[in-house]
């Protein structure tokens, strides 16, 4: 019966700790100078969906200069609603070689037909299929932090 007695003693200690702890908890209750914390989710519970706000894409502009030659060019038009799924790629509607002329769009780069093993395909390579992995549209949001990035010397 010894273990049962230990358990009982333990419970009593825990209960008294809870009781004596109570006044301390009151001392640290929110006061006027408590910092109010807010997450990027804006205080919305994790189980709830946060409505998308204000991520406005820039309207169609001219093709943008690149900052280094190997850069995936930035998308100079909105891509809102353009789907890229297993069966359909909206980007290729205009950027495929057989469509580009009519659409006035740049043809996808020849590098986009090579598999990672170096095999040249006659259609877009699977590793280049999800265009927005690398090509992104722009928004005129203010940078969150300063940075000292400069265009590659060869392109200045
Ligand atoms: C309705 C046709 C159309 C669709 C669909 C389209 N584009 Fe474009 N895209 C264009 C045109 C036209 C240009 C060239 C704009 C210019 O020359 O001023 C362009 C330019 C670009 C460029 C710049 C190329 C460069 O040389 O700088 C990129 C990158 C690009 N698009 C990516 C995409 C991606 C990624 C998608 C799909 C999410 C997409 N585009 C869907 C028509 C389209
Ligand atoms: C893994 C990254 C990656 C993916 C995915 C990708 N690209 Fe690119 N893309 C690049 C890079 C890097 C360049 C510039 C160097 C080059 O030509 O390979 C480029 C260049 C381009 C260019 C400019 C070609 C030129 O002649 O200047 C167009 C247009 C383009 N991509 C469209 C697309 C489209 C449309 C898709 C989807 C079907 C796509 N890319 C998928 C990285 C990517």
* Below-50 pLDDT ranges, the chain: 1-2, 17, 21-23, 25
Site of tokens 């509607």: 93
The answer as to whether 42 is a domain residue is no
Q: Which of 64, 90, 94 is the pocket-test mutation for ligand 1 (most atoms within 8 Å of CB)?
A: 94
Q: Number of structural domains, the chain? A: 1
100 domain residue, yes or no = yes
Q: Quick check: is 13 in a domain? A: no
User: What is the total residue count of the chain?
Assistant: 156
Q: Is the CB of 124 under 6 A from ligand 2?
A: yes
CATH number of residue 108's parent domain:
1.10.1130.10
Q: Whose CA is nearest to atom 11 of ligand 2?
A: 72
Residue 141: exposure state from Cβ atoms within 10 A (0-12, 13-18, ≥19): exposed
Q: Rounded to whole angstroms, how far apart are CA atoms 94 and 75?
A: 13
Q: Which residue segment(s) compose the domain that 88 sits in? A: 57-139
Q: Is residue 92 part of a domain?
A: yes
Residue 72 lies inside a defined structural domain of this protein: yes
In a domain, 94, yes or no: yes
Please report the pLDDT score of residue 148 as a whole number.
95
């Amino acid at each position: 019966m010894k273990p049962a007695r230990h358990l009982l003693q333990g419970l009593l200690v825990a209960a008294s700790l809870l009781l004596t702890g109570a006044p301390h908890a009151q001392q640290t209750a929110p006061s006027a100078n408590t910092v109010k914390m807010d997450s990027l989710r804006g205080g919305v519970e994790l189980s709830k969906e946060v409505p998308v706000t204000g991520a406005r894409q820039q309207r169609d502009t001219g093709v943008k200069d690149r900052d280094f030659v190997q850069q995936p060019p930035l998308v100079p038009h909105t891509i809102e609603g353009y789907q890229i799924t297993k069966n359909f790629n909206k980007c290729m509607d205009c950027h495929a070689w057989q469509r580009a002329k009519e659409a006035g769009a740049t043809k996808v780069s020849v590098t986009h037909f090579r598999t990672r093993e170096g095999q040249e395909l006659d259609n877009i390579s699977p590793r280049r299929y999800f265009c927005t992995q690398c090509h992104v549209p722009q928004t005129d949001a203010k940078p969150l932090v300063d940075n000292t990035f400069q265009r590659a010397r060869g392109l200045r």
